[in-house]
């Protein structure tokens, strides 16, 4: 995906930076997220930001939302999950347990790590 440089209002950038920290996103990723949601909202006048926000905050059930609202909510969830997975690194926490653990290597093969693990 190609990126294009653009100028962003300083207040908007600071708001994206603050919101991004809450959601494990950079300011640029947060602005991209907001732009995608805005695009979906403009494409469907039946979808309201309030309806999406109610589902995302747990004040309304996903199953009760209409199809377009569900689509925007799923996109927000997908971005949130991808961001959290990208920032996930449990190696130090697992080492601190003093136990072995298993994980897949780059080829999908199971590798045992930790104390007493066979060397590769």
Q: Do residues 98 and 92 touch, judged by C-beta distance below 8 A?
A: no
Average pLDDT estimate for 8-22: 86
Closest by Cα among 81, 78, 76 to 33: 76
pLDDT tens string 22-62: 888 889 888 988 888 788 777 777 777 788 888 888 999 99
Cα separation, 55 vs 38, in Å, equals 16
Is the pTM of the predicted complex or chain greater than 0.85? no
pLDDT reported for residue 67:
86
């Amino acid at each position: 995906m190609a990126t294009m440089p653009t100028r962003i209002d300083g207040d908007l950038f600071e708001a994206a930076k603050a919101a991004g920290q809450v959601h494990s996103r950079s300011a640029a990723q947060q602005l991209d997220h907001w732009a995608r949601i805005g695009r979906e909202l403009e494409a469907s006048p039946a979808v309201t930001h309030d309806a999406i926000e109610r589902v995302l905050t747990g004040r309304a059930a996903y199953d009760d939302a209409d199809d377009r609202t569900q689509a925007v909510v799923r996109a927000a969830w997908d971005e949130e999950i991808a961001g959290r997975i990208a920032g996930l690194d449990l190696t130090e926490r697992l080492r601190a347990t003093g136990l072995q653990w298993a994980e897949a290597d780059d080829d999908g093969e199971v590798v045992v790590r930790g104390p007493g693990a066979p060397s590769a």
